[in-house]
Structure 1
C-alpha cells in the first residue's frame, strides 16, 4: 500500500474509498488472470496424463515387438530339490529325465601358518595362474599377512583368486579360493624372495578340490565347469542345487500358448486405457453442458485417428497380408479393442507364424507402427512437449501481466490518495475560513443570527 489518509478535514473514510476504487479496477483483471491460469494448468495436467498413458502403452508395445513373446516355453519339474530350469523360445517341447551326480566346486588352498597376521613376513613376489591366465603380487618387506591378502584381492589384473585369513589353534593362514568353479579354474601359486615368504607360500595344502558338475540327461553324461548348465538341452538352462545320483528330476518343456494370449490381452488393455484417457479428456456432457479440458483439441483427436488407422490396416505376414480382425482383434464403435478369445486361441495354435509377423515385423509390424506414432507425440521434443512448452510460456506471460498490474494499481492507488488528500486539505481550509468568517460576523455590532 502507498499513501494513506484519515479524512480529518472532510470526515470521509478515504482509506476505504481508495480500496473500493482500486479493487473495482484490479479484482476483475485478477479474476480473469486466475481463470486463464487455471485453464492452462488444467491443460498441462491433461497433456501430462496423455503422455503418461502413451508411455505405458509404449511399454506394452515393446513386449510385443520381440519375436520371443510369441514363442514362450513353460517348464515344469516333478520335484525342485535338485535343480531348476528355464527355457527360451529356442527350446523344443519335450520331457527329459535328469540326475545330478556332482555339483561344481571351486578350489580352495591353504598357505603355511604364521603366528601373527599383523607381523611382517618378508619381501618377494607371488605368482598366480588360473585357467592359463596369470598375475603377480609384489610383497614388500614390511607387508603382513593382512596386507598380502589385501593386495591379492585388490590387484587390478587378478584373474580369479579370492584371499581370506582363517585363524585356528595352530595360527593364521591365507585361504585362496578360485572365483569360478570347475577343474579348469584350479590355482597354481609360485613364491619367490625371502625365505620367510617362500616358507609360508611355497607349499600349499588343497582344502577343497576343484570339481566340474556332472549330470545325466536321459542317460547321457554331461559335465560343466558351472552349476548353471546352459546348452546341454537346446534353449534350456539348468541350475543345479543338490547332487544325488539316485534321484531323477523330470523336466517337461511345453509351448506356453496361454502366455502369448496374456501378452496380447495386456496390450489390448493398455490400448483401451489410453483410449479411455483420451475420451475422458475430450468429452462433452450434454446434460450438464460442460466440456472436458481438451474438448475440441486437435492433438488428442489426432492420436485417436492415427491409432485407429493403423489398427484397421493390413500387415505383411508369411501367409500374405492380414488384418488384426483375422486373429480375433477388432475395434468397436467407441474406438476400444475387443478380443474374440476363441478366434485368437485358434490363431495361436494354428497360425502363430503369421501372428508373430503381424506384431513383430521390423518397421512394418503393428508394434513398430504404433510405436512410431506414439513417439511423434510422446517422444522427447514431440508434439506434447511442444504444446507444454507453449503453455508454460503462456503462464510466464500471465505472471508478467500480474506484476505489471500490481505496478499500475500501486500507481493508481497513490494518485487516488494524492487526490483525496488534496480534497481533504481543501475542505479543511474552507471549513477554517468559514469558521473565521462566522466569528467575524458574530463580532459585528448589532449582528444577530436568524
Structure 2
C-alpha cells in the first residue's frame, strides 16, 4: 500500500496516520480471514499428500503378495557348502538326499608339439575339427604362424566348441585345444590336411597329444550312481538342479528340499506393516484431541471415512479359494481393537504347511483375490486423476481464488486510501482557508479607530 504523505498543514492533523489507521481497520479482518483460509487449504494439501503416500506404499506392498510365485516353489538346505549348490523349482518335492560328488566333469585338452618361434610360418593347408558330431574347418595360408592359427580357430563363425591358446613353457611354445564343453561326449577330433606332407602344419596337428582327458561327472545320490557330461545336473532329482563345484568321494552332503515359506511370510509381513502404517496415518489425520479440544486437519472428512470403510470391509471379507471361502483369520491374520493387523506366526506357519494351495489362491487370484481387490481400492485413490488428485486440485483452486481475492482487496484498499486522503486533504484545505479568513477579520477588527485592546 502506498505511503501517506499528507501533513495537515491547514488543520494541524496527522492525516497520514489517520488514513493508515482507517485503511488497516478496514483491511485487517479481511486479511486475517484470507490467511486462515490459505493456511487451512495448505494444510489439507499437505495432509492429502501424506495420505496418498501412505496408500501408495500400501499398494506397493501388495505387489509380491499378489504373485503366485511368491507362494510356490521349494527351498534347499545343505549340510556342507563345499561340493555343490542346489536350486529347486515348483516341480520339486519335499525330501532329504545324501549326495557324494565322486568326480567333476572336465574338458579334453590336446596339445601340439613344441615350436621355438610362434611367428614362424607353418605351411598352407586346412585344419578340420569335430566335437560331438559337429564339425568346422579353417584354411591355413602359407605364411600363417601358430599365433595366426590360434586367431583363426577362435574367430571362426562356425566354431562348434573349440578354444585355442598358446602355452609358453621353458622348452618352447605349444598350441593347446580345449573343448568348450565337459564330458567324454565332447572330445575333439583334429584332422590336418597339409599342402606339403611333412610340413610343420602336418607334423604339429596330425600328431597332437592329449594332455587332459575328458571326464564325466560322477555323483552318488542315496547310493545310486549318476553320471553326466556336465557339472550341472538338471534331472538327477526331479525339480532340483545341482551345480557341482568340487569332488571328494569320502564326503557326504545332506540336501534337504522343503516347501518355501520365507518368501510368503516376508510378503505377508510387509503387507501387514504397510497396512498398519496407512491406517495410523489415516487416524492421525482425522483424530480429535480431547485434551486440547482440537481436531486434526481432516477430521470429519468424507474421503477419510470412505477410505477407512472400504479397507476395513475388504480386510474382513471372505474370498473364494476354490476349496471354499476363507478370510485373513484362517491364516492367523487378525484385526486389533485399534483397527490394525497382527499376525499369529504359529497359525500362519500351519497354513503355509497344510493349506498352501488355499492360501495361494486367497491372495493371488486374478481380479477377485485379496491382493487384487485391495490394490483396486488403493489405486482408486492414488492413481493420476483419482479421488485424492481431485481433492488436491480443489484445494489448489481454492488457493488460486484466495490469491485473486488478495489482489482485489489490495486494489480496493488502494482506492479506499486514495479516497480518504483526498477527503482529508480537502477538509484540511477548507480548515486552512477558514483559519486565514478568521485571521483577516480579526486583524481588521483590531485596526478599527477607538478600539481599546485589553491585554490583561
Return the TM-score normalized by structure 2: 0.70
Q: Please show how residues 107-256 of structure 1 align to structure 2 within 5 Å.
A: 216=219, 218=221, 235-236=239-240, 250-256=254-260
- Cα shift readout 1:12-39 (whole Å, capped 9, x = no counterpart): 2222222211211222111111111111
* Cα distance in 1, alignment partners of residues 47 and 360 from structure 2: 35
* Cα distance in 2, alignment partners of residues 37 and 88 from structure 1: 59
Residue among 286, 292, 312 paired with 1:308 = 312
- Cα shift readout 1:327-383 (whole Å, capped 9, x = no counterpart): 333334433223344333332222222122211112221111111111211222211
Which entry has the higher C-alpha Rg, 1 or 2?
A: 2
* Cα distance in 2, alignment partners of residues 33 and 369 from structure 1: 42
Contact kept? 2:102, 2:249, Cα under 8 Å: yes
1:143 is matched with which residue?
none
Q: In structure 1, the residue corresponding to 2:279 is in which secondary structure?
A: helix
1:323 is matched with which residue?
327
Contact kept? 1:359, 1:366, Cα under 8 Å: yes
- Cα shift readout 1:261-299 (whole Å, capped 9, x = no counterpart): 443233222222222221222212333321111111111
1:264 is matched with which residue?
268
* Cα distance in 1, alignment partners of residues 415 and 220 from structure 2: 93
Deviation at 1:65, TM superposition (A): 1.0
Contact kept? 1:82, 1:240, Cα under 8 Å: yes
Residue among 417, 421, 426 paired with 1:417 = 421
1:22 is matched with which residue?
23
2:52 is matched with which residue?
51
Contact kept? 1:376, 1:382, Cα under 8 Å: yes
* Cα distance in 2, alignment partners of residues 407 and 340 from structure 1: 66
- Cα shift readout 1:173-211 (whole Å, capped 9, x = no counterpart): xxxx99x988999xxxxxxxxxxxxxxxxx99xxx99x9
Contact kept? 1:3, 1:417, Cα under 8 Å: no
Residue ranges of structure 1 left out of the alignment (5+ in a row): 115-130, 135-148, 154-159, 161-176, 186-202
> Structure 1 pair 20/384, CA: closer, same or farther in 2 (3 Å)?
same
Residue ranges of structure 2 left out of the alignment (5+ in a row): 110-116, 120-131, 137-150, 156-160, 162-177, 187-203, 206-210
* Cα distance in 1, alignment partners of residues 351 and 47 from structure 2: 38
Residue among 399, 403, 407 paired with 2:411 = 407
> Structure 1 pair 441/351, CA: closer, same or farther in 2 (3 Å)?
same
1:33 is matched with which residue?
34
Q: In structure 2, the residue corresponding to 1:436 is in which secondary structure?
A: helix
1:74 is matched with which residue?
75
Residue among 358, 361, 369 paired with 1:357 = 361
> Structure 1 pair 430/315, CA: closer, same or farther in 2 (3 Å)?
same
2:7 is matched with which residue?
7
> Structure 1 pair 18/56, CA: closer, same or farther in 2 (3 Å)?
same
* Cα distance in 2, alignment partners of residues 296 and 102 from structure 1: 72
* Cα distance in 2, alignment partners of residues 22 and 319 from structure 1: 77
1:99 is matched with which residue?
101
2:398 is matched with which residue?
394
Contact kept? 2:276, 2:340, Cα under 8 Å: yes
Contact kept? 1:70, 1:356, Cα under 8 Å: yes
CA-atom RMSD in angstroms: 5.3
Deviation at 1:313, TM superposition (A): 2.2
2:436 is matched with which residue?
432
* Cα distance in 2, alignment partners of residues 94 and 330 from structure 1: 33
Deviation at 1:8, TM superposition (A): 4.2
Contact kept? 1:7, 1:424, Cα under 8 Å: no
How many residues align? The count is 412
